[in-house]
Amino acid sequence: MYAFEYQRAKSVADASSALAKTGGKALAGGQSLVGAMKLRLANPGTVVDLSGIPDLKGIKKNGSGDNAAIVIGALTTHAEVASSPVVRQAIPALAELAEGIGDRQVRNRGTIGGSIANNDPAADYPAAVLALGATVQTNKRKIAADDFFKGMYETALAADEIITSVSFPIPKKAAYVKFPQPASRFALVGVLVADTRGGIRVAVTGAAAHVHRATAIENALAKSFTADAAKAVKISSDHLNSDLHGSAEYRAHLVSVLASRAVAAAR
Amino acid sequence: MGANDLSSVGQSVRRKEDKRFLTGAGQFTDDVNAHNQTWAYFLRSPHAHAKIRGIDTTKAKSAPGVVAVFTGGDLTGVNGLPCGWLITGTDGQPMKEPPHPVLAQGKVRYVGDGVALVIAETLAQAKDAAEQIEVDYEVLAPVVDPVAALKSGAPLIHDGAPGNKCYTWALGDKAAVDAAFAKAAHVTKLDIVNNRLIPNAIEPRAAVASFNRADDSYTLYVTSQNPHVERLLMTAFVLGLPETKVRVIAPDVGGGFGSKIYLYPEETALVWASKQVNRPIKWTADRSEAFLSDAHGRDHVTHAELALDKDGKFLGMRVQTTAAMGAYLSTFASCIPTILYATLLAGQYTTPVIHCEVTAVFTNTAPVDAYRGAGRPEATYVVERLVHAAAVEMGIAQDEIRRRNFIRSFPYQTPVALTYDTGGYDACLDEAMKLADVKGFPSRKSESAKRGKLRGIGYASYIEACGIAPSNIGGALGARAGLYEVGQVRVNPTGGVTVFTGSHSHGQGHETTFAQVVASRLGIPIDNVEVVHGDTGRIPFGMGTYGSRSLAVGGTAIVKALDKIVAKGKKIAAHLLEAAEADVEFKDGKFTVAGTDRSKAFGEVALAAYVPHNYPLYKLEPGLDETAFYDPTNFTFPAGTHICEVEIDPDTGDVQILNFSACDDFGNIINPMIVEGQVHGGLAQGIGQALLEACVYDKESGQLLTGSLMDYALPRAHHVPSFKVATKVTPCTHNPLGAKGCGEAGAIGAPAALMNAVHDALAGAGVTYLDMPATPQRVWTAIQTAKH
């Protein structure tokens, strides 16, 4: 680890101005950033710790009927989401996804805001944000999921922009199925299928440079929301990742298989 | 534990060492901190193959906190690291032994090769300074694949090893094998890759070296499986120091699996540098360094053929193997694919003629050496994959083809140099089949099929050779060291016993097993026995722990020393009891005059030996402290059958192990719980090799692509089923314990059993061949390829 300056922010505004001033990095749960720093792969100069900021944690249900949504504070840990009765009741797929992230240590430290701001191509949360049509609330604005994930580790966030919460509209049903990369246990491919108020949405993580929607499967499922319909869709391997653990063809195949399993599991 | 376990041999006595391990009181090398200590960081090559045109350490030397920076050019008078086994090739020439410098001399040959040693007040300062070192590399094309390295035009790694060849060596009667194949009714042929593995002991390598200018002596704490060998190689061959001036201590060591047998450059550099800077130096590898620089295992490419008659009886076997050595010869690299591999190709079978040719080759990778099983898993994999395939091709059941060929008469001379003293192969096969409920397999398979899953069952009937010996035969085959072990039994005046063993425990539980042996033999409570290991300053000598030898060889050395203790004790007791020595018996902790009730307890005799007021001083020395060196007359031959049952999801290629049954014959067992633990651990590592683990270097750049646990998949709890294990006993005939060794068996049998099960499962999908590891992608791809 390189030497760095540590600043503990007292408020979101405080954190934002520290980031703007120093060009440093925001620290949420630290499950990606600290590891990269320890390996000397990241040298942020200044780390602005968000953990002392009040009101960034917590889970609540807002609205009702078609407008009902689960709002999760950015610093809420994966373990808190996984064990939340509110999430379990409203969007079981989201609780189960959180329960499957990393290991126990990661789930107790890692946060939803940190995960989606990092936008790791194989992270789980981005699939939920995208497939459930969530809205990302920052200190500056609201960003629709479809506009948020821009590229590998790239998001719509400005350098001094901080996620404060994520709002998930409650779907009719949904499920997330992940096929883990054998070593890292990140998603080699993960698919979240959701039947939302705005239609069928299918998001894929792990397969490409960043999370994306599988529109071919969405179209097939809009006609027939069945496992067979999803499985029958042949996904193109163009632009999919190819590495030691999975060729683009294998990943393309897994997208259809996992989507079909998610349809079968959706509730 | 107390006096009620006087006959604790055969009991699952809880491990004495676990109290300190489970309460965090273990003392590992990284727990050692010397006064005024400095920290070392090794700058390693980022290139797989490059000339070093120059190294500029000026900036690094003046960086904050830096004590010294050394490069290869500074190590004047320091030799390269030696190889401990000389293989003589089929051409009659000794193997090529290119220099293995402690720090790179003019060239780097793998990613991770040590280029500079930076010593600073803190580790962070050493790392910062290392980034200031400017190395001018002329990058050369690398070759990482052993077969490619032998092709003409391949990059030359060592000037002294033309064609990158270390040796070509052969064993067996080639003409007889050719004749056997000529009359065969059936020949099974396989091309097999035995995947390269990275050991990953939970404790990474570490060292703390100190120099004492008062007497010009050195102390090295190091993560070693054999501190005396480490000291011998380092002092006599590399640093030119007297052994009397170097004390090597291997304290608690957190797993080795072979990777901590060897003399490595890092600790050697630290010992040398500790005098230069006149301060203690500490180094602990991080996991990334361990991946790059620990000796790896396996990495064979093999073509193998089995000739059978019309009844499935084996007539002959021919095997050609290319074995990667990596960039340099590690300490025992050369004997793994030869002495510990080709000799095991008879397996449990009466195959009358076998010929094996092995070509060892240098590659631009980390060195390869022994890893749990060392040659024997590779041999078992060749034999048992061949047997499985032959049975399938000839329509013979898997158990039946094995039974038709089992050796049943002992001693048995194999055509590949070994003499099996004893065994009982049918009993293990029968028991394993019972454990595995083979009879119920067809219905389980159809139940899986109903769910769209492919179920398969696979067998491996393995043999291993442990306790490599005797020394004179080893020497004739090229060993440059002895193969004996040393045990010292010190009976203290009040009857407590300290045992000094040349074996080293790094997870095996010697402190318990050896104490059980001693307590039982002396008739004393196990708590009165203390086992000391891992310190050249306290133990007379030792060859350490490798090749499942500790009980069979190290334990026997202790027994031999105990025999001397008892013999001397009888003399003392005879004097005390005013009886003839020949009339004194020793049993249950008492010296008794035969046929009488006159006796002296063991403790009374011990006290008399140290307080010799009533003692035959005119003919007997006081004291009760005996040492024995034990050189076995033969290897031991553990064997058994493992049966694995898997279910494959054809949609994803995912392989689940549903059942794993193992019946092993380890000879007599001292502590069944520890043995079962060894089997479980070995099986998990074997499953790792077959299902998950593969060290991959990029063919173009020579970069290690599986350089962390993010890409190198180790087995986890959910990968391993609840094992069903059993043992059968045919005692070893040539050591007094009747023990054979159990440390490696799991890793030897499991890969073949698992892969045979995978092949059985995939047969229905038309897949005929798959290499390890059977990863989801590889299984799925094989199914797709078979479809088209």
**Cα–Cα distance for residue pair B268/B188, rounded to 1 Å:** 48
Q: Is there a domain that residue B415 lies in?
A: yes
Contact status of B449 with chain A (Cβ, < 8 Å):
no
Cis amide leading into B242 (omega within 30): no
Helix (H) or strand (E) holding B134, with range, is: strand B134-139
Q: Is B467 left (phi over 0), alpha (psi -120 to 50) or beta?
A: left
Q: Does the beta-carbon distance from A1 to B776 stay under 8 Å? A: no
Assess whether A123 and A161 both reside in one domain: yes
Is residue B391 a contact partner of residue B401, using CB atoms and an 8 Å limit?
yes
Contacts of A2 in chain B (CB under 8 A): 128
One domain for residues B672 and B776: yes
Instruction: Find the distance separating the first CA and the last CA of chain B, reported in whole Å.
Output: 65
- Cα gap B383→B188, rounded to integer Å: 11
pLDDT at site B3: 38
Whether residue B215 lies inside any domain: the answer is no
Q: In what order do the strands lie in the sheet containing B654-665? A: B454-463, B639-649, B654-665, B724-727
Residues of A in contact with B710 (CB under 8 A): 183-184
Question: Last residue of a domain, which of B575, B607, B630?
Answer: B630
Are A40 and A64 within one domain?
no
What's the token pair of residue B358?
A: 């092995």
Shared domain check, B581 and B526: yes
Terminal C-alpha separation, chain A: 45
Whether residue A192 sits in one domain with residue A102: yes
* Same structural domain, B569 and B500: yes
- Return the pLDDT at B627: 98
Choose the closest CB to B652 out of A3, A179, A245: A179
pLDDT digits (tens, 9 = 90+) for A67-90: 999 999 999 999 999 999 999 999
- Cβ pair A245:B781 closer than 8 A: no
> Does one domain contain both A44 and A135?
no
Interface of A with B in 184-203 (CB under 8 A): 184, 188
Within a domain: residue A166?
A: yes
The number of domains in chain A is 2
pLDDT given at position B132: 98
Report chain A's mean pLDDT, rounded to a whole number. 97
CATH number of the structural domain spanning residue B505: 3.30.365.10
Contact B777 A247 (CB under 8 A): yes
**B466 vs B553: CA distance, rounded Å:** 9
pLDDT digits (tens, 9 = 90+) for A119-131: 999 999 999 999 9
SS (H, E, C) A103-134: CHHHHHHCEHHHHHHHCCCCCCHHHHHHHCCC
Given this model, what pLDDT does residue A54 score?
87
Domain, as residue range, for B779: 300-469+634-787
Which of these three, B613, B630, B647, is where a domain ends?
A: B630
Residues B464 and B568 in one domain: no
CA B730/CA B733 separation, integer angstroms? 9
Domain contains A106: yes
Q: Is residue B385 part of a domain?
A: yes
Q: Does any CB of chain B come closer than 8 Å to the CB of residue A41?
A: no
Q: Are residues A25 and A125 in the same domain?
A: no
In a domain, A240, yes or no: yes
ipTM for the predicted complex comes to 0.96
Question: Does B449 lie in the same domain as B305?
Answer: yes
Whether A37 and A167 share a structural domain = no
pLDDT of residue B5: 47
CATH of the domain at A84: 3.30.465.10
For residue range B601-647, list pLDDT tens digits in order.
999 999 999 999 999 999 999 999 999 999 999 999 999 999 999 99
Q: Does residue A185 fall inside a structural domain?
A: yes
Identify whether residues B596 and B653 lie together within a single domain.
Answer: no
Distance from CA of B756 to the nearest CA of A (A): 21
Name the burial class of residue B470, with classes exposed (0-12), middle (13-18) and buried (19+) by CB atoms within 10 angstroms of its CB.
middle
The position carrying tokens 């760095």 is A4
pLDDT reported for residue B8 = 85
**B342 and B309 belong to one structural domain:** yes
Cα–Cα dist A69/A170, whole Å: 5
Both A76 and A144 in one domain: the answer is: yes
Please name which of B635, B641, B661 lies closest in space to residue B739, comparing C-alpha atoms.
B635
List the one residue out of A206, A228, A231, A202 whose CA is nearest residue A215.
A202
Q: Is residue A179 part of a domain?
A: yes
- pLDDT score for B4: 39
Indicate the angle between helix axes B745-763 and B376-394, nearest 10 degrees: 30
**Count of domains for chain B:** 2
In terms of domains, do A241 and A171 share one?
Answer: yes
Which residues from chain A sit within 8 angstroms of residue B782, using beta carbons? Answer: none
Contact of A244 with chain B, judged by CB distance below 8 Å, is answered with yes
Contacts of B654 in chain A (CB under 8 A): 179
At CA A107, angle to CA A105 and CA A111, rounded to 5?
125
Distance CA A126, CA A192 (A): 10
Residue A16, domain member (yes or no): yes
| DSSP assignment letter at B367 | -
In SS3 terms, A24-79 reads as CEEECCCCCHHHHHHCCCCCCCEEEECCCCCCCCCEEEECCHHHCEEEEECCCEHH
Q: Which residues of chain B have pLDDT under 70?
A: 1-7
Q: Can you name the residues that pair with B189 across neighbouring β-strands?
A: B305
**Pair A40, A131 in one domain:** no
Written as six digits, the tokens of B5 are 């376990």
Same domain, B539 and B408: no
Residue A74 and residue A44 share a domain: no
Sequence letter at residue B557: A
Q: Which residues pair with B591 in a beta bridge?
A: B586, B600
Whether residue B599 sits in one domain with residue B666? no
- Among residues B589, B611, B630, the one where a domain terminates is B630
Q: Are residues B504 and B409 in the same domain?
A: no
Residue A29 lies in a domain: yes
User: What percentage of chain A has pLDDT greater than the value 90?
Assistant: 99
Do A172 and A99 lie in a common domain? yes
What angle, rounded to 10 degrees, do the helices at B556-577 and B510-522 form?
30
Residue of A nearest to B691 (CA): A182
Of B483, B484, B518, B482, nearest to B500 (Cα)?
B518
For range A131-155, the mean pLDDT: 98
Residues B415 and B552 in one domain: no
Same domain, yes or no: A155 and A250: yes
Q: Which residues of B touch A257 (CB under 8 A)?
A: 651-652
**Shared-domain flag, residues B320 and B455:** yes
Looking at the domain assignment, is residue B669 inside a domain?
Answer: yes
Domain assignment of residue A93, given as a range? 59-265
Q: Say if B76 falls within a structural domain.
A: no
Q: Quick check: A52 and A11 in contact, CB under 8 A?
A: no
Q: b/e map of B72-81 (b: 16 or more CB within 10 Å)? A: bebbeebbbb
pLDDT confidence of residue B7: 61
- Compute the distance between CA of residue B107 and CA of residue A211 in angstroms, rounded to an integer: 44
What is the spatial distance between Cα B142 and Cα B154, in angstroms, rounded to a whole number? 8
Q: How far apart are CA B137 and CA B126, in angstroms?
A: 22
Query: Tell me: the pLDDT tens digits for A210-262?
Result: 999 999 999 999 999 999 999 999 999 999 999 999 999 999 999 999 999 99
- pLDDT at residue B533, as a whole number: 97
pLDDT at residue B315 in the model: 98
Q: What is the CATH number of the domain that holds A36?
A: 3.30.43.10
